[in-house]
C-alpha cells in the first residue's frame, strides 16, 4: 500500500514571496521489497499491460507508424544508416546519426551571442507528432489590457478543447513570471524580453504538435509581431480582447488599477504606460452593445475558428 501525503511550504521566487507550493511525499511500509528498491504499485491501468515477457500497449500502433516513416531522403534517394553497435533490426536514418558516423561537416551558426552552434535535425518531425495527436500545433496569442478577461478566456478555451480530446497548454503571463521570467521587471526592455522568451517557448509547444494558448498583456505591437514571425504562416493566431479601459478598470480583479492610480505601481499598462492595439488580429472579441458574452461563448468562437482552419485534425 502506498500512502501519499502533500506538504505545503511557502517559498520566495525572485522578488515574490508568500508563494505556496506543494511537494508530494511518499511513505512506504518497511518491507523486504523496499530494501531492494521495489514497491507494490496500486492496481491501476497506465495504458499498458505486462503478460509474461510481453508488453502490450494501447499506443504502440501510432509509434510503429512513425517508426515506419523514419527513412530520410538524401540527394533524392532514400538512405539508412546502421549505427555501429545497434541490433541489425534497429536502423537509424542518416539524419539522426551524422554525429556518430563522423560523416560530413556540420554547418556552424551564430545566433545572437551563441556561436559555433549546429541545428540537429531529427527524423520524427512536427507532422509526425501532429499525426500522433490528431491535431495541428499552433499558438493562440491572447492579448489585451489587464482585466480584459485574457486568463479567463484561456482557461475556458483550454477546457473546451480538452473536452474535444485536444492537447493544449496555457502560458499565462503571471505564471510564466513565477519561474522562467522571474528575473524580469516591468520596465519596457524587460517586458520585451518577457514576450520574446514566452514566444520562443510557445513555438516549441507548437512544434510538439500542441495547441499553445499564450495569455499576456503583451502591450507592444513590435514584440507581438516578432512572435508571429517565429511560426509558419497561419500558425500564430492573435486574439484581441477589445475591452475598453474604463470597463477593465471597473472590474480591477487584482486591485492593480487602484494601486496604479494611487501611484504605488509605476509603468502600468493603460494608466502610465501605453497599450498598442493589434491591427491585424485573426480574432477580435469585444462587448456586444455593452454586454459581455460568457467565457464559454467566447471560447466557442475561437474553437470554431480552429475547426474551420483545420487545426483540430491532423
Distance CA 262, CA 186 (A): 18
Are residues 25 and 9 in contact, defined by beta-carbon separation less than 8 angstroms?
no
Q: How far apart (Å, rounded) are the C-alpha atoms in residues 111 and 244?
A: 40
Cell 507581438, residue located: 224
Cβ neighbours of residue 281 under 8 Å, at least 6 residues apart?
238, 239, 240
The residues pairing with 50 across neighbouring beta strands, listed in sequence order, are: 55
151 among known catalytic residues: no
Of 218, 281, 294, 304, catalytic: 218
Separation between Cα atoms, residue 94 and residue 259, nearest integer Å: 59
Residue in 187, 183, 176 with CA at minimum distance from that of residue 14: 183
Q: Where are the beta strands (DSSP E) in the chain?
A: 3-13, 16-27, 48-51, 54-57, 72-74, 77-81, 92-93, 109-111, 114-117, 138-143, 168-172, 211-215, 236-242, 283-286
Cα–chain-centroid distance for residue 290?
33
User: What distance in Å separates the CA atoms of residue 271 and residue 217, rounded to the nearest whole number?
Assistant: 14
State the virtual CA torsion across 213, 259, 188, 178 in degrees, nearest 10.
-50
Using an 8 Å Cβ cutoff, are 139 and 212 in contact? yes
φ/ψ of residue 195, rounded to 5 = -70, -40
Catalytic positions are 218
Amino acid at each position: 500500500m502506498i500512502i501519499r501525503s502533500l506538504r505545503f511550504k511557502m517559498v520566495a521566487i525572485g522578488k515574490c514571496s508568500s508563494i505556496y507550493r506543494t511537494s508530494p511525499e511518499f511513505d512506504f511500509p518497511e518491507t523486504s521489497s523496499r530494501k531492494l528498491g521495489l514497491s507494490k504499485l496500486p492496481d491501476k491501468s497506465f495504458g499498458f499491460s505486462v503478460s509474461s515477457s510481453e508488453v502490450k500497449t494501447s499506443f504502440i500502433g501510432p509509434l510503429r507508424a512513425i517508426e515506419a516513416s523514419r527513412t530520410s531522403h538524401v540527394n533524392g534517394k532514400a538512405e539508412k544508416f546502421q549505427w555501429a553497435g545497434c541490433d541489425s533490426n534497429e536502423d537509424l536514418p542518416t539524419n539522426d546519426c551524422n554525429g556518430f558516423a563522423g560523416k560530413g561537416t556540420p554547418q556552424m551558426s551564430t545566433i545572437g551571442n551563441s556561436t559555433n552552434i549546429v541545428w540537429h535535425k531529427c527524423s520524427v518531425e512536427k507532422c509526425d507528432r501532429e499525426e500522433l495527436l490528431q491535431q495541428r500545433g499552433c499558438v493562440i496569442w491572447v492579448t489585451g489590457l489587464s482585466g480584459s478577461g485574457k486568463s479567463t478566456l484561456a482557461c475556458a478555451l483550454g477546457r473546451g478543447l480538452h473536452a474535444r480530446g485536444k492537447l493544449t497548454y496555457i502560458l499565462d503571463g503571471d505564471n510564466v513570471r513565477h519561474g522562467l521570467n522571474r528575473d524580469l521587471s516591468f520596465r519596457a526592455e524587460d517586458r520585451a524580453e518577457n514576450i520574446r522568451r514566452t514566444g520562443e517557448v510557445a513555438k516549441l509547444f507548437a512544434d510538439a504538435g500542441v495547441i499553445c494558448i499564450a495569455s499576456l498583456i503583451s502591450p507592444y505591437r513590435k514584440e507581438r509581431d516578432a512572435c508571429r514571425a517565429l511560426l509558419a504562416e497561419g500558425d500564430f493566431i492573435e486574439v484581441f480582447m477589445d475591452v475598453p479601459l474604463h470597463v477593465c478598470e471597473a472590474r480591477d480583479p487584482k486591485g492593480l488599477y487602484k494601486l496604479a492610480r494611487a501611484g504605488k505601481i509605476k509603468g502600468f499598462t493603460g494608466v502610465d504606460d501605453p497599450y498598442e492595439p493589434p491591427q491585424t488580429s485573426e480574432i477580435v472579441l469585444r462587448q456586444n452593445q455593452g454586454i459581455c458574452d460568457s467565457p464559454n461563448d467566447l471560447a466557442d468562437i475561437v474553437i470554431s475558428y480552429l475547426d474551420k482552419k483545420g487545426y483540430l485534425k491532423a
